[in-house]
Structure 1
Amino acid sequence: MSNTLSVSSFNLILYSAQQRGAEYNVLCEKVGLTADMLQDPDARLPIRKVQELWKEAVEMTGDEHLALHIGESINTVAVGILAYVMMHCPTLGKALEKLCQYQDIVCDGSKTEFYIKDDLAYVTLTQLSEDMLYPQYAFESELSIYNEAVKGMLGRALPLHAVHFNYPAYSPHLSEYQRIFKTEQVLFESDITGIVFDKKYLDYPILNANPNLFPLFDKHAQSILSSLKQDNSIKEKVKKEILDGLKGEEPSLFNISRNLGIGLRSLQMKLKEEGVTFQQLLDDIRKNLAVQHLQETHLSTTDIAYLLGYSEPSVFFRSFKKWTGYTPNVYRKNPKMVA
């Protein structure tokens, strides 16, 4: 199962890189994406693609602390429904509970946990995705965003006891970490990655929280999370890519493998393990769409052939007869003949 990040969060990284001099189109091109692929904020991208973006963005901006700077580069409300849920919680403690509950809406490649120990509150991050080749970028950007989000919710910076990272420092200078998190205690090669603060702040109220809006946003977040967890199989991911690609041209497995951040042969093997081939998925989708479109009288068979990605109507005719035993025109006159 491939871990993913929301496109809206991917765009936040792009925006932060732009703020530091990176060219948007060049950066997209380097990671094999186009602006059109990033228009749907509810779409998802594989973690490996996000890791490629971080690497290229850091190199292009020359900012080794780009991930650390993302929190102060963006409006944390732009994180989406998760931010709205947290903003309308009654207290910081409740907001952090909701952060842990709904984090997968943003990214399911890491796990956020919140607990209390010895009068201290801990918000920690754990890597889940094997595709997270540069965990420092993911962890530092997440903690940076959390830190700024809490500041916005409380109307003041959260006094931290310490910030922990479970990997070695990749810079000899800790001053930027100390500036961002406003604490002298920045600890690398620790047992955890996360922030630590006095538990009394958990009872602090969220400024401008609206108790009437909270259940609405909470219900919406539950719905999104449920839909994400329904079916995350490779087969379903490929089917979605096929549907997105049927716009006047035939989707190719090569392009789909690139979009998913999975090698071509590896993708073929994963589909085989799920008992299906790319051609079977493509044919099934085209057949189902063809049957639907042929019931829409305003569409000509030439129009339908184009919508299904065929270069020539004659190829569509042959394919439809192969699937159903009838030509499209015969079926259109008697649609009940095809199950």
Structure 2
Amino acid sequence: MANQQKSLVLGMLAYAAQKDVAPQQLCKLSGIDLKTFLKREDVVLTQKQLHDLWYNAGHLSKDPLFGLHFGESLQLAALGIVGEIVKSSSTVGEAVTHAAALAHLLTALFRIEVEQSKHHFTIRFIPFKDEAKAPSLPFRHTMDLFMVFTVHELDGLLLTKVKPHAVRFSYSIPDITEYERVLRCRPVKRTGEYALVFEKKYWDMPILTANYELQHVLLQKVGVVPPQLNNNQTYQAKIYNYLLANSYLGIVSLETVSANFNVSVRSLQRKLKEEGVKYQEVTEEVRKSLALNYLSSGSYNVKEVSHILGYNEISAFTRAFKRWTGTTPVSYQHK
């Protein structure tokens, strides 16, 4: 298996770049030689380097919820480990169990255990050493990341939005409204416990492995690559890449995107206006690119593509597709 820690850190650097933080500066402050890190596959960062990386990322981005928002945008960057889980699992329960066993590849701050009851299953994040008593800021960022990533990857396995039954943190939540938005459940404080609780109905649900294949279609045919490690992208490009990274659950709202970039809705709209584009135009371009390539692949029917792109009715998708191309999705696929 590839170096999962490196994949995670690269995703983190790319996300920091989206938030106008120079990866070179972030690495320098964290005692990391970026050139060596990019060049060597066997590189392993120390716990202090990882600790400093999280601390400096939150500080430079001016986002106290950096880990939460990074987790929300992580799907593309995490394809490696998700691919391993998909290959070895047929149900959500198997996937969750395998994911818990692979957690040590990504962090040494806590382990993950899964337990079942009559009506629910619980994913517990159990801290190691001193973090159990006095969680540090980097620990909080990492915990937020894993909590969000778990919820959103269950989305990806089922191609539907999964809502936890309960979310528990051992520390006080600084912005409970934002946590509730991202995790889709109002978190509660429970001393000594970090846990996600889900309804038992999800446990035996079969995994829709098409999601993993679709992401490869996304990478190979739409021509998308993980965001480059620079901070010179336009907001139009940043939003386009963010929407692609979260594409299998449809087009997310402007409110969600603005929260992810740590700016107000009005500020984001103003920045896009300065670049001569509207948010709706960016979303239309994303949908168009995905629709053309999903249909061209020959692996997905019109109904599946319509669902993946977030349309409630095939008729709405057909009207949009005709507006983009002058023909229907069925006719395009037949050609």
TM-score, L = length of structure 1 = 0.55
Conserved? CA contact 1:85–1:95, under 8 Å: no
Match of 2:164 in 1: 160
- Give the partner amino acid of 1:63: D
**Aligned pairs for 1:54-73 within 5 A:** 54-73=54-73
Conserved? CA contact 1:90–1:209, under 8 Å: no
Q: Please, what is the CA RMSD of the aligned residues? A: 2.3
Percent identity of equivalent pairs = 22
Over 3 Å counting, the alpha-carbon distance change for 1:42 and 1:90 in structure 2 is farther
Please list the CA deviations of residues 195-220 of structure 1 after superposition, one character each: whole Å capped at 9, or x if unmatched. Answer: 1111110111111269xxxxxxxxxx
Does 1:15 find its partner at 2:14?
yes
Report which stretch shifted further, 198-207 or 107-116: 107-116
Conserved? CA contact 1:5–1:47, under 8 Å: no
Match of 2:25 in 1: 26
What is the CA distance between 1:130 and its match in structure 2? 4.6
**Aligned pairs for 1:87-126 within 5 A:** 87-88=86-87, 89-126=89-126
Over 3 Å counting, the alpha-carbon distance change for 1:68 and 1:45 in structure 2 is same
1: distance between equivalents of 2:6 and 2:189?
Answer: 30
Match of 2:197 in 1: 196
Please list the CA deviations of residues 29-48 of structure 1 after superposition, one character each: whole Å capped at 9, or x if unmatched. Answer: 11111222322344321222
Task: From 170, 174, 177, give the equivalent of 2:176.
Answer: 174
1: distance between equivalents of 2:29 and 2:154?
Answer: 34
Match of 1:49 in 2: 49
Match of 2:274 in 1: none
Please list the CA deviations of residues 288-333 of structure 1 after superposition, one character each: whole Å capped at 9, or x if unmatched. Answer: xxxxxxxxxxxxxxxxxxxxxxxxxxxxxxxxxxxxxxxxxxxxxx
Unaligned 5+ residue runs, structure 1? 211-339
Task: From 140, 145, 168, give the equivalent of 2:149.
Answer: 145
2: distance between equivalents of 1:5 and 1:45?
Answer: 12
- Secondary structure in structure 2 of the residue aligned to 1:136: helix
Q: Report how many residues are paired.
A: 203
Does 1:133 find its partner at 2:132?
no
Please list the CA deviations of residues 50-86 of structure 1 after superposition, one character each: whole Å capped at 9, or x if unmatched. Answer: 111111111111111110011222325x335431122
Over 3 Å counting, the alpha-carbon distance change for 1:126 and 1:80 in structure 2 is same
Please list the CA deviations of residues 261-307 of structure 1 after superposition, one character each: whole Å capped at 9, or x if unmatched. Answer: xxxxxxxxxxxxxxxxxxxxxxxxxxxxxxxxxxxxxxxxxxxxxxx
- Secondary structure in structure 2 of the residue aligned to 1:44: coil
- Secondary structure in structure 1 of the residue aligned to 2:45: strand
1: distance between equivalents of 2:161 and 2:83?
Answer: 19
2: distance between equivalents of 1:114 and 1:108?
Answer: 18
Match of 1:86 in 2: 85
What is the CA distance between 1:129 and its match in structure 2? 5.1
Does 1 or 2 have the higher relative contact order (CA < 8 Å, sep 6+)? 2
Report which stretch shifted further, 40-49 or 63-72: 40-49
1: distance between equivalents of 2:21 and 2:101?
Answer: 34
What is the CA distance between 1:178 and its match in structure 2? 0.8
Unaligned 5+ residue runs, structure 2? 212-335
- Give the partner amino acid of 2:136: L
Over 3 Å counting, the alpha-carbon distance change for 1:42 and 1:145 in structure 2 is farther
2: distance between equivalents of 1:189 and 1:167?
Answer: 8
- Give the partner amino acid of 1:33: I
2: distance between equivalents of 1:28 and 1:192?
Answer: 32
- Give the partner amino acid of 1:133: S
Match of 1:250 in 2: none
Conserved? CA contact 1:82–1:103, under 8 Å: no
2: distance between equivalents of 1:109 and 1:41?
Answer: 22
2: distance between equivalents of 1:119 and 1:110?
Answer: 26
1: distance between equivalents of 2:200 and 2:45?
Answer: 36
2: distance between equivalents of 1:140 and 1:72?
Answer: 10
Conserved? CA contact 2:32–2:49, under 8 Å: no
Conserved? CA contact 2:151–2:164, under 8 Å: no
Over 3 Å counting, the alpha-carbon distance change for 1:84 and 1:42 in structure 2 is farther
- Secondary structure in structure 1 of the residue aligned to 2:161: coil
2: distance between equivalents of 1:190 and 1:179?
Answer: 23
TM-score, L = length of structure 2 = 0.56
2: distance between equivalents of 1:104 and 1:17?
Answer: 23
Which 4+ stretches in 1 moved above 3 angstroms? 129-133
